[in-house]
Amino acid sequence: MMDRITIRLPRQQVEMLERLVEAGEFPTVSEAVRYSVRALLERHGNRVLREADQISFKV
């Protein structure tokens, strides 16, 4: 099951997402956003979790 969130983006970013869909890069704008979030989490998620673990050990 997926949760729903609401985000606000500048019009230019929305238009670029729509162009990616029109170009066939993604089936929907939502899928393009999910892809972007996954990439962000893969790139930064582990570091954030490590830092959170270090903080909890110090307490």
pLDDT of amino acid 58: 52
Placement of tokens 């393009």 in the chain: 32
| DSSP states along 7-55 | ----HHHHHHHHHHHHTTS-SSHHHHHHHHHHHHHHHHHHHHHHHHHHH
Taking phi first (over 0 means left), then psi (-120 to 50 degrees means alpha), and beta for anything else, what does residue 24 get? left
Q: Is the pTM of this model over 0.85?
A: no
8-58 confidence digits (pLDDT tens): 999 999 999 999 999 999 999 999 999 999 999 888 877 777 776 665 555
